[in-house]
Structure 1
Amino acid sequence: MAEIRSINVISLAKMFAAVSLVIGFIAAVLAVLIAIFGVAVAPFYPLPVGEMTLIWAIVAILVLTVVYAIIGFIAGAIIAVIYNLAAGIFGGVEIVLAEPAVMPEKHDGEQDRSYE
């Protein structure tokens, strides 16, 4: 068994930002579509038409996507710091790693057993 004793804060923050960016883009597109169709079916609501609607939709998608990514980065950093503090007190998460099918060879032809 291997134990994860610490997590690189920036590494986890970047991963959370990337995942949040994708989720933010999907959420932003859905929000814009719902807003456009919601306005289109409202009988007494003046429907904004023209290029400004498209411009605001694109701006909304970009802004929401970036905001999600920033929040994801901050959340990832906070989670990594909290994990590192907790792992120092309680111990890290234990995981089981698969053994390599073939042991890596050293440059001189011997098998590398440094990972054991």
Structure 2
Amino acid sequence: MIIKRIDILSAAKITGIIAAAFGLLAGILMFLFGGVLGSLMGNEGGGFAMFGGFMAVIILPIMYGIFGFIGGAIQAFIYNLAAGFIGGIRIETE
């Protein structure tokens, strides 16, 4: 079996969703560490650190998803160009 062409929109959607999931994980970690660092900072910067961590949970998945979508589309496009020259990826299945 040889993959000769990848649908660009399909690849972009999948990579966008995967990247958004990683963005959510990164946002959750930032939220947790923002809470820990906020409690260590006391009254001066604690609220700001917690708010930044909360915003990371919202913003990072969106940004990761957008850039993952764009990156996936570019990669699929380049794969299609390269596969036209060299014939694609050969996959063995049972």
Shorter chain as denominator, the TM-score bin is: 0.7 to 0.9
**Contact 2:4 2:80 survives alignment (8 Å):** yes
Structure 2: unaligned runs, 5 residues or longer: none
Structure 1: unaligned runs, 5 residues or longer: 99-116
The two structures have a TM-score, normalised by structure 2, of 0.85
Shift of 1:44: 8.4
Q: How many residues align?
A: 94
Q: What is the CA–CA distance in structure 2 between the aligned matches of 1:15 and 1:7, rounded to whole Å?
A: 12
**Contact 2:34 2:52 survives alignment (8 Å):** no
- 2:72 aligned with 1:72, yes or no? no
- 2:93 aligned with 1:93, yes or no? no
Seq. identity, %: 32
Q: 1:17-96 to 2 correspondence within 5 Å?
A: 17-42=16-41, 45-48=44-47, 57-96=53-92
Which structure: greater helix fraction?
2
Larger Rg belongs to: 1
Shift of 1:29: 0.6
Q: CA RMSD in A?
A: 2.3
Amino acid at match of 2:84: G
